[in-house]
Amino acid sequence: MKSVLFSRFFILLPWILIVILMLDVDTRRPAAPLTPRPYSRYAARGGTRLPLRRGGPESGPGRGAEKRNQSGPQPQPKPQPQPEPPLPTIYAITPTYSRPVQKAELTRLANTFRQVAQLHWILVEDAAARSELVSRFLARAGLPSTHLHVPTPRRYKRPGLPRATEQRNAGLAWLRQRHQHQRAQPGVLFFADDDNTYSLELFEEMRTTRKVSVWPVGLVGGRRYERPLVEDGRVVGWYTGWRADRPFAIDMAGFAVSLQVILSNPKAVFKRHGSQPGMQESDFLKQITTVEELEPKANNCTKVLVWHTRTEKANLANEPKYHLDTVKIEV
Ligand code: UGA
Ligand code: MN
């Protein structure tokens, strides 16, 4: 009887061992990782099943899948995208004065500037105080702006004398003051008269100005255009029909200056004393750069991207002196 029991036991033993082994292997199979789903019962209970723990000190043999993960190629850390360098701010200094077409000019200008990224408009009124018209206009223009004013002394308000000298200087002073205590942010300064016509491409061109950049200007100097002459990427002369002896035969609309240059030449300003008509640009540029240093833009100065347009004086011959309109309307 005893021997029968023994023999049965020995026959069953391998099977018992096989069953134990299989049970053991089954319990070692990795559990499916639990991804909490918003409405899953597991997630609602805070997760009753632990997610797979990988490669801990307890990980023994027989965990093929985990071993492969450890020894296989490790996932490379993704290259971090470099932060974009900040877009240089374009500071547009615009002198402006009260006249019937003023609001129309400013409207055209604002419509252009609103399409230019990172542009700060410095509007300088030729007046003893900020006017209501310009203040209201700027408040609704939807542009980062600064509103300054300075009157042109009466003695300089004569035909043949340079215009807007004090206003441009006020803009320069504001810029220098603003950046007095901080490291210069990338920026570009441009003198944008209120009556010219500016293409959007012009702002793309000037934004990369390192020191002083130049380009052609249309409808100026008694010609269809004036332009710097460029050879091997350098300015070597000027195509102009008027006072070709000017050191920089260029209109105010034909150049931009980096903020850095403005700040490192704190004395560079527009001068009244000794200034001849048409020499303002040269007198100013002489203080901050040389012709050799100029950076030609607009495809080596072969494209006109700005026009020195002039709006004709409005004809108000029929404007009534008496029997005025019953409402007051701003034009
Ligand atoms: C040319 C140049 O393009 C100007 O940059 C230069 O200032 C001017 O000559 C000059 O004689 O000094 P032009 O079209 O003849 O320009 O001049 P305006 O357009 O009448 O004036 C230039 C800027 O100064 C304008 O933005 C205008 O609004 C402003 N301005 C003009 C004043 O602020 N006050 C004035 O009394 C006259
Ligand atoms: Mn003009």
Task: Give Cα 129 to chain centroid, integer Å.
Answer: 31
- The first and second tokens of residue 89, run together, are 């701010």
Please indicate whether residue 13 or residue 51 has the higher confidence score (pLDDT).
13
Kindly state the percentage of the chain with pLDDT values over 90. Answer: 70
Q: Identify which of 10-19, 33-42, 161-170 has the greatest average pLDDT.
A: 161-170
What is the model's pLDDT at position 6? 58
What does the pLDDT look like over 258-268, one tens digit per residue? 999 999 999 99
> Chain-wide mean pLDDT for the chain?
84
Lowest mean pLDDT among 2-6, 113-117, 163-167, 188-192: 2-6
Tokens of 235: 């300015």
Ligand nearest to the CA of 278: 1
Q: Is the pLDDT of residue 290 over 60?
A: yes
| Residue 103 CA, ligand 2 centroid: distance in Å | 15
274 confidence band (pLDDT: 50, 70, 90): confident
What confidence tier does 304 reach under pLDDT thresholds 50, 70, 90?
very high
pLDDT at position 233 over 50: yes
Mean pLDDT in residue range 97-101? 98
127 CA → ligand 2 middle, Å: 18
Active site annotation includes 281: yes
C-beta of residue 126 within 8 angstroms of C-beta of residue 150: yes
Query: pLDDT value at position 14?
Result: 62
Q: Which of 94, 193, 275, 276 to mutate to test the pocket of ligand 1 (most atoms within 8 A of CB)?
A: 193
Residue 29 has pLDDT above 70, yes or no: no
What is the distance between the alpha carbons of residues 289 and 303, in angstroms, rounded to a whole number?
Answer: 23
∠ CA 28-34-39, nearest 5°, is 145
- pLDDT tens digits, residue range 67-81? 344 445 566 778 788
- Residue in 103, 122, 157, 163 to alter for ligand 1 test, most ligand atoms within 8 A of Cβ: 163
Q: According to the model, what pLDDT value does residue 40 have?
A: 30
What is the SS3 assignment for the chain?
CHHHHHHHHHHHHHHHHHHHHHHHHHHHCCCCCCCCCCCCHHHHCCCCCCCCCCCCCCCCCCCHHHHHHHHCCCCCCCCCCCCCCCCCEEEEEEEECCCCCHHHHHHHHHHHHCCCCCEEEEEEECCCCCCHHHHHHHHCCCCCEEEEECCCCHHHCCCCCCCCHHHHHHHHHHHHHHCCCCCCCCEEEEECCCCCEECHHHHHHHCCCCCEEECCEEEECCEEEEEEEEECCEEEEEECCCCCCCCCCCCHHHEEEEHHHHHHCCCCCCCCCCCCCCCHHHHHHHCCCCHHHCEECHHHHCCCCEECCCCCCCCCCCCCCCCCCCCCCCC
What residues have their beta carbon closer than 5 A to ion ligand 2? 193, 195
pLDDT score of 11: 66
Q: Would the pLDDT of 54 be above 50?
A: no
Q: Using only C-alpha atoms, what is the Rg of the chain?
A: 38
- Is residue 150 within 8 A of residue 120, CB to CB? The reply is no
Q: List ligand 1's pocket residues with C-beta within 6 A.
A: 94-97, 126, 152, 157, 162-164, 167, 193-195, 251-252, 280, 308, 310
Q: Encoding tokens for residue 85?
A: 């360098």
102: pLDDT strictly greater than 80 = yes
pLDDT digit string (tens) for 182-216? 776 899 999 999 999 999 999 999 999 999 999 99
What would the mean pLDDT of 117-145 be, rounded to a whole number?
98
Which pLDDT value is given to residue 49? 33
Q: Name the closest ligand to CA 95.
A: 1
Query: Is the four-CA dihedral 63, 66, 69, 71 of positive or negative sign?
Result: negative
* pTM (2 d.p.): 0.79
The pLDDT, as a whole number, for residue 25 is 45
Band of residue 296 on the pLDDT scale cut at 50, 70, 90:
very high
Is 50 exceeded by the pLDDT of residue 276?
Answer: yes
Query: Which candidate in 226, 281, 312, 319 is catalytic?
Result: 281
The pLDDT score that the predictor gives to residue 80 is: 84
Give the ligand whose atoms come closest to the C-alpha of residue 191.
1
**195 CA distance to ligand 2 middle (Å):** 5
